[in-house]
Every structure is written in C-alpha cells, then in structure tokens.
Amino acid sequence: MAKTKTKFVCQECGYESMKWMGRCPGCQNWNTLVEELETPKKSRSTATMAGLSGTKSKPEVITKVTREDEPRMSTNLSELDRVLGGGIVPGSLVLVGGDPGIGKSTLLLQLSAILAENKRKILYISGEESVKQTKMRAERLHAQSDQLYVYTETDTQAIELAVDQVSPEVVVIDSIQTMQTPDITSAPGSVAQVRESTGMFMKMAKSKGIAVFVVGHVTKQGAIAGPKMLEHMVDAVLYFEGERHHTYRILRAVKNRFGSTNEIGIFEMKEQGLRQVLNPSEIFLEERTNGVAGAIVVASLEGTRPVLVELQALVAPSSYANPKRTATGVDHNRVSLLMAVLEKRVGMLLQNQDAYINVAGGVKLDEPAVDLGIAISIASSFRNEITKPTDVAIGEVGLTGEIRRVSRIQERVKECAKLGFKRCIVPAKNLGDWTVPKGVEVIGVHSLDEALAVMLGERAKRR
C-alpha cells in the first residue's frame, strides 16, 4: 500500500516544506505552516490525454488576431462602473476584499438585484449563509427578482454543474475561503484550496464568458487572505474600505486589467443597504466648523475625480520626552517629514509639541498634493491663527521647503469653484495655459514660507 505523503504549507505566502517550522522562511511569519496531504502529480501522458493533444488552440500572429468588441454590462451604479473602468467585462474575474462587516456581501447582493432587474440572469452562491438567510437579507435590501438565483454550496464541482444548469451571465462567489475542491484533501481556506478553487472559477469565466465576482477575506494587516498569487490570477482587485464608526465606504481598485487603478467609488451605508454618493465633497464638508485654528480644506485627486476634504491638526505642548505624532487618514511618516521641514525651513519649534492630524470623514489620502494642506494646518494650530474658510491649499512640499507642481490642477480648481470657495493656493509652476473659473482667485506660491504668508497673513521670511 502506497505511503501517504504530507507537506507543510504556509497559509500566508504558500511556502512549502517537508518538515514543520515555527517561522516561515518565505514571509517570516510565525505559526503559519499547516500540514497538508501531498496531491499526486499527473504524469505527462495523462496530462496530454486530458486535453493537450486534442486542443484546437495554436499560436497565432498578433497582427492577424481578430478582436470582437464585447459591450460592457452597466451596473446602473455610476460609482461602481467608474471603479470597474466603465462596467462589467464579460468573462472577467473580479476579487472584492475588505474587513468583516464592511459591506462586501451587501454590495454584491445589491449589484445582483440591479442586474437581474435588467433581465440578466444572475447566480449568487453563498458558502456562509443558507438560502433562507440570503432571502432575509435580500428582503431587507429590496433585492429580489425572478432572474436572481441563490445557491448554498462550497463544492466547486457542484457549483460548476449548477452554472451549466442555470447558464447565468454573472456569478457571485461569497466567499472564496469557504470553497473546496474534492480532489484536495486540505481544509477549506488553505493555500491549496484557495488556489485550486480560484483556478477553476477563472477557467469557467474565460471559457464560458461569464463575469465572476469573488469575495475574499482579509488578514489583520488588511491584505487579502490566502496566497498572494490569488491577486495575480484575477483580472481586477477591489478593496472595500472605511471606518467602522462612519457610514461612508470607499471602493478602491488596486488592480484592473480593463481600466484605471486610481479610481474610487464612494457609498453610504443605510438601513436599506448601500447608497452611492455622487458628490462626495459636499458630504465631507457638511459638518465643517469655521473660525477654528488648525483646519484647512485640500483638493485631493482620486483617479479622475477631485475630492475636497477637511484636514484638521491639533498641536499642543508635550509632557513627555518624546512628543506624540498621531495621524489618521494620512501617512504618519509624511507628517513627521513635514513637521521637520516646518522646523528647519520656517523656524517653528515643534520638537516639544504633540501633533494630531485627522482627515474628517474617515477618508484616506495618499497623494503628495495634500502636503501643503497638512503643513498649513499644523502651522495654523501651532500659532493659533485662523485660516480663511474660503481658502483651499493644493501642492506638494519638498525637503527644501519648495512647493512642487501637482497633476490636473484645472479639475481641482473647478471643483473648488463649484462648491463656493473663493481662493486657491497652488504651486507657482502650475500657473500656465488653463482657464481659471470665474469667482475664484488662484495664487501661485514658490515656497512654504510664501504659502504661510498668504494663508496666515504673515510676512514671508526671506532666506
């Protein structure tokens, strides 16, 4: 009788070892190696008989390949269409990740109902809920249609048979960590099961032209659980993020073979489900308080959409030897860098001050154009001087204190004019061949000293 062979596989990176180790040599994580039965490899002759010898596909010259333009499926959700690059591409495999309870299943169930109302056949497969539980959630979301089929199953072979019976245009898998292939002996959620299940769904999407949405859980670090190759196998990776104590959710594309990876969609979680936010700038500024030091509005660009948000800073004397630096919504290291620039180039003594930076509304800003806003808000709080509520700061700050140009300045200023702001402080290098909207004064600055003189009413220091 053949001896059963086992191996130890890291559940984070997929590293394989013949013996157990406490720490994975691949990703350096502790206690991630799990014992799995080794799957016997198919011989070359078996693989050839399985399809290599009988395939009709052969290499073709790329200039002679004929391409058929398949129309994208509109979701009737402009926020989701923007993130996907204009709609759902038939035959695509999309991975949706996010924290537990953030709204991944809610978004996909609402999407399924909207597509079903447009006379498209949808198959919603849940490995975590029964059919009755899915029905209860659909009633709450008013997501019911005769074209929407629900199915509770974790066996990938049974799912493949169900797809052949229903012949849907879109399939939703919730979630990939619950799926299992009978040929693999490891537990659901393991590296081998996630890899094989995703490979089966990818083959199904490409061969049958079905758009497949797959829900993926995330780890404590916020990355998609399972092997990293899971993100390489799919066509698009969407992260659904947001603060648990805020009602706003952001859908962000980090990979998209059919569109831009810089786009975001903004939704608001309501009792009846998710509602798309068409003008996020008004939402993020509706609770703004005027006449308070340390607050400034910045124009951040998310993909092709400019978003105005309020930056808040609180600088107070520290009672510790090492002052605190706390940042929410912006990079902590970037805040420390800008405070060093303020101390060295402007002369502010911040080494004994605690600094707390917050982006109102729970938004995360990761582009350099918000540097000037962060620096001005810190200086405003430190000097206890109020900025004008009709001012907007746009610009990247260099280590020498210069204000560097940013991209798409015209779109940012137009958004400011639409919301009633009267003055925009921008890099001087951005002034050029573009039309300034009526009612807005655009001031170009070369250095951080000059920007502070304009915003806080001080005379710029000449160095």
Cite the annotated binding site by residue number.
98-105
Per-residue confidence (pLDDT) for residue 48, from 0 to 100: 43
Cite the annotated binding site for ATP by residue number.
98-105
Q: What is the pLDDT of residues 150-169, one digit of tens each?
A: 999 999 999 999 999 999 99
Per-residue confidence (pLDDT) for residue 39, from 0 to 100: 60
> In terms of domains, do 190 and 217 share one?
yes
CATH code of the domain covering residue 143:
3.40.50.300
Better-predicted residue by pLDDT, 362 or 134: 134
Poorest-pLDDT segment among 26-35, 89-98, 220-229, 401-410: 220-229
Q: Is the pLDDT of residue 358 over 80?
A: yes
Dihedral, 4, 10, 11, 13 alpha carbons, nearest 10 = -130
**Has residue 414 been placed in a domain?**
yes
- Distant-in-sequence, close-in-space partners of 302: CB < 8 Å, separation ≥ 6: 262, 263, 264
Instruction: State how far the Cα of 127 lies from the Cα of 68, in Å rounded to an integer.
Output: 35
Instruction: State how far the Cα of 398 lies from the Cα of 388, in Å rounded to an integer.
Output: 24
Domain limit, last residue, from 278, 307, 335: 278
Per-residue confidence (pLDDT) for residue 380, from 0 to 100: 95
> In terms of domains, do 301 and 429 share one?
yes
CATH code of the domain covering residue 452:
3.30.230.10
> In terms of domains, do 208 and 339 share one?
no
Residue 46 pLDDT grade (very low, low, confident, very high; cuts 50, 70, 90): very low
Residue 222 pLDDT grade (very low, low, confident, very high; cuts 50, 70, 90): low
Per-residue confidence (pLDDT) for residue 66, from 0 to 100: 80
Per-residue confidence (pLDDT) for residue 461, from 0 to 100: 41
Better-predicted residue by pLDDT, 218 or 54: 218
**Has residue 58 been placed in a domain?**
no
> In terms of domains, do 368 and 413 share one?
yes
> In terms of domains, do 84 and 28 share one?
no
Poorest-pLDDT segment among 56-70, 116-130, 260-274: 56-70
**Has residue 61 been placed in a domain?**
no
Better-predicted residue by pLDDT, 65 or 208: 208
Residue 460 pLDDT grade (very low, low, confident, very high; cuts 50, 70, 90): very low
> In terms of domains, do 20 and 88 share one?
no
> In terms of domains, do 342 and 243 share one?
no
**Has residue 172 been placed in a domain?**
yes
**Has residue 31 been placed in a domain?**
yes
Better-predicted residue by pLDDT, 7 or 453: 453
What total of structural domains would you count in the chain? Answer: 3
Residue 463 pLDDT grade (very low, low, confident, very high; cuts 50, 70, 90): very low
Q: Domain range spanning residue 369?
A: 283-456
Q: Is the pLDDT of residue 357 over 50?
A: yes
> In terms of domains, do 242 and 348 share one?
no
Instruction: State how far the Cα of 75 lies from the Cα of 455, in Å rounded to an integer.
Output: 44
To the nearest whole percent, how much of the chain has pLDDT over 90?
58
Residue 54 pLDDT grade (very low, low, confident, very high; cuts 50, 70, 90): very low
Q: Is the pLDDT of residue 47 over 50?
A: no
Domain limit, last residue, from 252, 278, 304: 278
Handedness of CA 149, 155, 161, 167 (dihedral sign): positive
> In terms of domains, do 312 and 430 share one?
yes
To the nearest whole percent, how much of the chain has pLDDT over 70?
90
Q: What is the pTM of this model?
A: 0.76
Per the CB < 8 A criterion, the answer to whether 343 and 337 are in contact is no
> In terms of domains, do 148 and 257 share one?
yes
Residue 51 pLDDT grade (very low, low, confident, very high; cuts 50, 70, 90): very low
Please provide the average confidence, as pLDDT, over all residues in the chain. 87
Residue 71 pLDDT grade (very low, low, confident, very high; cuts 50, 70, 90): confident
Better-predicted residue by pLDDT, 274 or 50: 274
Poorest-pLDDT segment among 37-41, 69-73, 455-459: 37-41
Domain limit, last residue, from 251, 278, 305: 278
Better-predicted residue by pLDDT, 362 or 367: 367
Residue 120 pLDDT grade (very low, low, confident, very high; cuts 50, 70, 90): very high
> In terms of domains, do 320 and 441 share one?
yes
**Has residue 112 been placed in a domain?**
yes
> In terms of domains, do 355 and 384 share one?
yes
Instruction: Say if residue 175 is preceded by a cis peptide, omega within 30 of 0.
Output: yes
**Has residue 23 been placed in a domain?**
yes
Per-residue confidence (pLDDT) for residue 278, from 0 to 100: 85
Q: Is the pLDDT of residue 355 over 80?
A: yes
CA–CA distances in Å: residue 375 to residues 278, 285, 379, 403, 450: 30, 20, 6, 11, 12
Q: Taking residues 256-268, what's their average pLDDT?
A: 88
Q: Taking residues 230-255, what's their average pLDDT?
A: 85
**Has residue 303 been placed in a domain?**
yes
